[in-house]
Amino acid sequence: MKAFLILYIIVILLVFGKAQLCNPTCTREMNPHCGVTAECHVPAANLCLLRYKACILDQHHMSPIINVLPGHCPNNWPICPEI
């Protein structure tokens, strides 16, 4: 019984330990960056907001940001859907 309880606690920690909270607290600094995924791009006003959006993408099991470009995203690239 004790071994079962320990195993149960370990499983719960592994399942919920992966969950991360995305922190939306960022400054209003305007320093645009463009996050690039395999399918679309993620425009952000600054790197902090881009990290937040990357966290949201990860939580929803969407394509991760694989590259970050300084400046605004090109207009001809598809924008990732807002979550």
Alpha-carbon torsion 38, 40, 44, 48, what sign? negative
Please tell me whether the overall predicted TM-score, pTM, comes out greater than 0.85 for this model: no
Alpha helices in the chain (DSSP H): 2-17, 47-59
Lookup: tokens for 77: 């690239």
pLDDT tens, 19-74?
568 998 999 999 999 999 999 999 999 999 999 999 999 999 999 999 999 999 99
In the chain, what are the domain boundaries? 2-70
Q: How far apart are CA 73 and CA 3, in angstroms?
A: 54
